[in-house]
Chains A and B, each alone.
Chain A
Amino acid sequence: MSEQPPMIRVEGLRKQFGDFLAVAGISFEVAQGEILGFLGPNGAGKSTTIRMLCGLLKPTAGRIHIDGVDVAADPDALRKRIGYMSQKFSLYQDLTVRENLRFYGGVYGLRGAALESRIGYALEMSGLTAHPETLVSALAGGWKQRLALGCAILHRPRILFLDEPTSGVDPLSRRRFWDLIHDLSTEGVTILVSTHHMDEAQYCNRIALIDRGSIVALDTPGQLKRRSLGGELVRIECASPDRAMQALAALAQVRDVAVFGNSLHALVDNAADAAAAIVERLRTRGIAAARVTQIDATLEDVFVRLVSANHGPAGTGA
């Protein structure tokens, strides 16, 4: 991945609406086939950024190159390469599933057998093969969402922009949707997806944490958690947690330890190294049946830590 030029390259992107700075000069790159997640609260500037990347909004400053195309200079070349799914699932409610697909296919210049084959693919992908003549207004949220994705990829775009694609969709459908996203990325489609569901970040290759128009952090989900915590988290299940905590507090490998229900959570530099030392220390103190497992900090924890650092004491969030 790293030898190829990045599929998306953004430098110093800014967007000002009057007095309001929606996007405060961000820079990032996305490699081909990568899934980059924009994670952040509503109003953080995720949608504004995506709209600028799609050529829908003119940036106040900054440069955007997508698949080698300078977006400002050649928006038409950009539009043939991208697929976009906006927050509202831009489907025509008064048209049927097939009519929507026909329309978007036509708008992307598809016709004849090529169009029919792509419509067949989109129907299958969205699980609507049996319901092509159903009016979209009659579909449940999860189906609408998958159909909107189907419409966005009819023309085989190399880059896909998904703005809050999972908002208002049930958990099972969200799961299924992320499977589709993953399949697309393995086919080489580059995907930039925004969400405010923290739990969805694990499906992304990398995450940009966005707050008040800035990228607070940009890394893989694992690295983000490690970095913000300053280590890894392990859970220690043992016979007498109170005594065990005292025993471990003095251990060099353990930076912090706390009782957590019937077990202990300890912050360590490296889970594998620390586990052996913990088991050994507990054994020497006569505390039996110790089991040490690495656990994930939630991204929500990470986000709160990073954002509060970004805001300072008076921070309110957007």
Chain B
Amino acid sequence: MRIRRVSAIALKELLQVWRDPRSLMLALLMPVMQMLLLGYGVNLDISHVPTCTYDEEGSQLSQALIARFQASRYFDLVAGLDSQRQIRHAMDGGLCKLVIVIPAGFSRQISEFHHASVQAIVDATDDNTATIATAYASAVVQGFSNEVQMRYEALRGGTVVAQPLAVQSRVWFNEDLDSRDFIIPGVVALVLALVGAQLTSLTIAREWERGTMELLLSTPVTPLEMMIGKLLPYFVIGLVDAGICLAFALLLFHVPFRGAFATLLLTTSLFLVVVLNIGYLLSVLIRNQLGASQIAMFVTIMPISLLSGYTFPIDQMPAAIRAVTYVIYARYFVTILKAVFLKGSGIGALWGPVSALILYDILVVWIAGRAFRKRIA
């Protein structure tokens, strides 16, 4: 391998990206846009669920319960309903996703039987939201229930016993249970994969389309020199993009960063090598900018957003799909990013996913380094 030939190709490629507004935008603007879009857009926290109430009783107690819901940031009370029929109407019309029904006789039941039921009707078209909203609603009711119970005990002259047994949960690594903190590190992986594969998917196809490839093939450039020379500039761009993503994560989304930058740099580099080579391979095979970039988009967005664990926890997937995630190279980087950002893990603790990435690197470099044939057909 001759360094001179590699540097000539790398320099030329960099100049071309620099002079091409489309490539430049793809390289620098796309990560910014995606960080904003995915950072703000993908938010799994359920809050401000539009909620209606149907208070059949209208007592002090029932209003106190409704006030509890009002006070919670998870629920927005949009209307009080007057009949069963209105419930159906409010749900169908999209007015609310949750209806809290307090039955007549609610207060009496509590005072006589120390037990009463409250009905929560939930719009489960979005089952994830429904599940979480139901859980939050139960929590609100449970809290209220405890309070009421204690008040009755006190009225009866008994000792005010605090809850006999309570779980004191402490959440580690993402203390606010903010899903953004959990998602953003994964977004970084998605953005880098998307932009990286897009950029390199154009690189060889462009030479074919513009007719410059033929001459390049007649020169002494070897397939390996071609690959390294072509990917080097995009590697640098990828690191710049990673810097942009990091800046957004830390400064705009205030995601905690507890790890070491060196760990991040090393693992990001390992990931970029996989991503860039995949785009390059597509470009070599397809020889058409549009086709290659669309396939690059397809093979990055779908599998990574669904199967890398960046939003949907891999542990909760069915076994068969979980098995598939092991092939998704991004899952290793997502694991690494989450650990580096939130736990501050070092390379030592991450040896598993890091070695998976290294294996992938070896594999893609081996394939891409040979894929390029020095012939027209």
A contact residues vs B (CB 8 Å cutoff): 51, 54-58, 75-76, 79-80, 82, 84-88, 90-95, 99, 102-111, 151-152, 161
- A sample of 26 cross-chain residue pairs with beta-carbon separation below 8 angstroms, ordered by A number, consists of A54-B218, A55-B374, A56-B217, A56-B375, A56-B376, A75-B374, A79-B218, A82-B218, A86-B215, A87-B211, A90-B215, A93-B210, A94-B16, A99-B12, A99-B15, A103-B8, A103-B9, A106-B8, A107-B5, A107-B8, A109-B2, A109-B4, A109-B5, A111-B4, A152-B215, A161-B218
Q: Which 5 A-B pairs have the closest CB atoms?
A: A106-B8, A90-B215, A88-B211, A84-B218, A79-B220
Contact B16 A92 (CB under 8 A): yes
- Report the minimal beta-carbon distance from A50 to chain B, rounded to whole angstroms: 10
Whether A80 and B211, one on each chain, are in contact in the complex, defined by CB atoms closer than 8 angstroms, is: no
Which residue of the partner chain, among B2, B212, B219, contacts A91 with CB atoms under 8 Å?
B212
B220 touches A58 (CB 8 A): no
B233: shortest Cβ distance to chain A, in Å?
A: 13
**Is B46 among interface residues, defined by CB-CB distance under 8 A?**
no
The answer on a CB contact under 8 Å between B16 and A51 is no
Least Cβ distance of A11 to chain B in Å?
A: 21
- The residue of chain B having its C-beta at the shortest distance from the C-beta of A84 within the complex is B218
Contact A55 B218 (CB under 8 A): yes
Residues of B within 8 A of A90 (CB): 211-216
Given contacts A94-B19, A109-B5, contact A56 B214 (CB under 8 A): yes
Contact across chains for A86 and B377 when beta carbons are under 8 A apart? no
- Contact, CB under 8 Å: A103 / B11: yes
| B82 on the A face (CB < 8 A) | no
In contact, B9 and A95 (Cβ under 8 angstroms): no
Given contact pairs A86-B218, A93-B210, A103-B8, enumerate 10 new A-B contacts (beta carbons under 8 Å): A57-B375, A75-B374, A79-B219, A84-B214, A86-B214, A90-B213, A94-B20, A95-B16, A99-B15, A107-B9
Contacts of B5 in A (CB 8 A): 106-107, 109
Known contacts A57-B377, A90-B211, A94-B19; A107/B11 CB under 8 A: no
The residues of B that contact A91 with a CB separation of less than 8 Å are 212
Chain B, interface SS category:
helix
A99–B9 Cα distance when bound, in Å, is 11
Interface residue? B7 (CB, 8 A): yes
Chain B positions 1-52 with a Cβ under 8 Å from a chain A Cβ: 2, 4-5, 7-9, 11-12, 15-16, 19-20
The count of A-to-B residue pairs whose CB atoms sit within 8 angstroms is 90
Known: A57-B375, A92-B16. A107 touches B218 (CB 8 A): no
B221 within 8 A of A: yes
Q: Do the beta carbons of B376 and A51 come within 8 Å of each other?
A: yes
Enumerate chain B residues within 8 angstroms of A92, measured Cβ to Cβ.
Answer: 12, 16, 210, 212
Q: How far is the CB of B83 from chain A (nearest CB, A)?
A: 70
- In the bound complex, residues from chain B placing their C-beta under 8 Å from that of A103 are 8-9, 11-12
| Residues of chain B with a CB closer than 8 A to A76's CB | 220, 222
Chain B residues within 8 Å of A111, by CB: 4
Q: Are B215 and A84 in contact (CB under 8 A)?
A: yes
Contact with A along B207-244 (1 / 0, CB 8 A): 00011111111111110000000000000000000000
In the complex, A174→B16 CA distance in Å? 30
Instruction: Tell me how far the C-beta of A261 lies from the nearest C-beta in chain B, rounded to whole angstroms.
Output: 46
Please, which residues of chain A bring their CB within 8 A of the CB of B212? 90-92
Closest partner residue, chain A, to B17 (CB atom): A94
CB-CB < 8 A to B222: which residues of A? 76
Chain B residues, CB < 8 A from A102 = 8, 11
**Which residue of A is nearest B12, CB measured?**
A103
Bound CA span A55–B375, Å: 7
Q: Would A80 and B215 be within 8 Å (CB), given that A57-B376, A106-B5 are in contact?
A: no
Nearest residue (CB) in A for B222 is A76
* Complex CA distance for A236 and B231, rounded to whole angstroms: 70
CA distance A151 to B217 in the complex (A): 14
How far, in angstroms, from A93 to B206 measured CA to CA in the complex?
12
Query: What is the minimal beta-carbon distance from B222 to any residue of chain A, in angstroms?
Result: 8
CA A7 – CA B218 in complex, angstroms? 18
| B 34-72 binary contact with A (CB < 8 Å = 1; else 0) | 000000000000000000000000000000000000000
